[in-house]
């Protein structure tokens, strides 16, 4: 999805919810406005000695309910508009889940796949230094996102801590366990997708034993969803990456596929099942479809070919406005991103709490708490959808926007 299009998408969704809630014009303007947006230069010396200047961003949309929270993305398509859209989605996501956070997002316009480890470290440390004044465990807590990982978070934490003169593990989440990371964080987003898919199947009366599942995106989220749903008895009939993937009508041998990929094989070249393109994946007959790659993949060009009963948005904004309308008319149950992929930020909250207390929980405890929060959030959204006679996306936005708006009313306006 183009960056300007992604922002239009988010703003339109907000207006639908605001209209349902009857928010006055002043409050709407306040909820739409970002608290702060920082654009920084990130000069980085490449391994060949050449200096390259990247552009970095950190957007804080809203801090009414608590410090800002959101990922750091390294991708060529990172822009101010895209970060603004994602920061706003984070505000609604955190509010929907009942977390004491506002929304933020940041990143650098770069291609991390072309950079060495040393280059990534130099770039990360400079970026962290540039945004140092607006991040912190009680201000804005970054986390991994597309193109970043535990190591990037470790460098960010170390850079911030060196500037402060003390170790501050709570400044970021998604860190390595040794540095204050949380058990279960890496799989949290995928587990959250799985938990709400199970709840949706109950609503529609879909039996998971033998249910067909197709997944776009075989990164951390897609792999976890596939593994969890397979344990429920589902058949994972197709998985794809950026260049395509594999299909088998009676279910892929997921363990073998994971072994091939772990060994460095390209997903689309693994000798399991038949090769399939991303375009073909969206036309497969299945009970559950999980777009867990990048935004805008479900659009008006393919929405009328989707044959799934449940679409669970593992990625951020994978469905365009036009596709949303088509799927709604065709009776496809869409579980929106601010609910479906909220497992990551929920366990990030757990990590932050553990860091502040210097007391850590077991993985079983974390997964049980995550399942409870995700299941309860789904049930609240389902009840709101029935109450307002709307789809799940609109219901989720009504609940989240209402919560942030109430926070504004309670806090008032300073000065």
CA dihedral (125, 128, 133, 137) positive or negative:
negative
Task: Compute φ and ψ for 410, nearest 5 degrees.
Answer: -70, -40
Helix (H, G, I), strand (E, B) or coil at 46: coil
Q: Which residues contact 228 (CB under 8 A, 6 or more apart)?
A: 190, 191, 194
For residue 393, report the phi and psi dihedrals to the nearest 5 degrees.
Answer: -65, -50
* Residue 147 DSSP symbol: T
Q: For 55-75, give the DSSP string.
A: EEEEEEEE-SSSSEEEEEEEE
Omega into 415 within 30° of 0, i.e. cis? yes
- Give me the helix-helix angle, 80-97 and 363-388, nearest 10°: 90
Classify residue 246 by burial, with Cβ atoms within 10 Å: 0-12, 13-18, 19+.
Answer: buried
Count of positions (residues) in the chain: 415
CA–CA separation, 209 and 356 (whole Å): 42
Q: In what helix (H) or strand (E) does residue 296 lie, and over which residues does it extend?
A: none
Classified as helix, coil or strand, 121 is helix
Alpha carbon distance 370, 105 (integer Å): 22
User: What DSSP line would sit under 103-145, residue for residue?
Assistant: EEEEEEES-GGGS-HHHHHHHHHHHHHHTGGG-BTTTEEEEE-
For residues 351 and 181, the answer to whether their CB atoms sit within 8 Å is yes
Query: Using only C-alpha atoms, what is the Rg of the chain?
Result: 21
Residue 105 is a catalytic residue: yes
Are residues 321 and 14 in contact, defined by beta-carbon separation less than 8 angstroms? no
Catalytic residue among 69, 105, 202, 230: 105
Q: Which residues are catalytic, by number?
A: 105
């Amino acid at each position: 999805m183009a960056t300007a299009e992604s922002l239009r998408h988010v703003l339109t969704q907000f207006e639908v919810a605001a209209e349902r809630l009857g928010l006055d014009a002043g409050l709407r303007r306040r909820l739409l406005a970002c608290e702060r947006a920082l654009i920084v230069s990130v000069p980085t010396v490449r391994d060949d000695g050449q200096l390259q200047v990247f552009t970095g961003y950190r957007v804080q949309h809203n801090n009414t309910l608590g410090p800002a929270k959101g990922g750091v993305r390294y991708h060529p398509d990172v822009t101010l508009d895209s970060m603004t859209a994602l920061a706003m989605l984070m505000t609604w996501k955190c509010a929907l889940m009942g977390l004491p956070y506002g929304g933020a997002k940041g990143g650098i316009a770069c291609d991390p796949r072309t950079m060495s480890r040393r280059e990534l470290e130099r770039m990360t440390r400079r970026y962290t230094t540039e945004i140092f004044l607006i991040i912190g465990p009680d201000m804005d807590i970054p986390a991994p996102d597309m193109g970043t990982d535990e190591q990037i978070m470790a460098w960010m934490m170390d850079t911030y801590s060196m500037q402060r003169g003390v170790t501050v593990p709570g400044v970021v989440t998604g860190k390595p366990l040794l540095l204050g990371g949380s058990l279960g964080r890496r799989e949290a987003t995928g587990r959250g997708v799985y938990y709400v898919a199970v709840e949706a199947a109950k609503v529609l009366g879909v039996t998971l034993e033998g249910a067909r599942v197709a997944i776009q995106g075989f990164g951390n989220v897609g792999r976890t969803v596939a593994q969890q749903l397979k344990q429920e008895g589902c058949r994972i009939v197709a998985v794809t990456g950026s260049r395509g993937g594999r299909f088998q009508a009676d279910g892929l041998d997921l363990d073998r596929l994971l072994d091939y990929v772990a060994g460095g094989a390209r997903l689309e070249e693994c000798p399991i099942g038949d090769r399939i393109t991303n375009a073909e994946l969206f036309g497969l007959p299945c009970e559950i479809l999980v777009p867990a790659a990048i935004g805008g993949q479900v659009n008006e060009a393919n929405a009328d070919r989707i044959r799934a009963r449940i679409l669970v948005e593992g990625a951020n904004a994978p469905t365009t406005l036009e596709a949303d309308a088509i799927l709604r008319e065709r009776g496809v149950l869409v579980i929106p991103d601010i609910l479906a992929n909220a497992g990551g930020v929920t366990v990030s909250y757990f990590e932050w709490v553990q860091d502040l207390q210097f007391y850590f929980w077991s993985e079983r405890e974390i997964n049980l708490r995550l399942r409870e929060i995700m299941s309860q959030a789904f049930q609240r959204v389902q009840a709101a959808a029935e109450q307002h006679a709307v789809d799940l996306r609109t219901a989720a936005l009504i609940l989240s926007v209402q919560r942030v708006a109430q926070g504004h009313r309670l806090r008032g306006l300073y000065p």
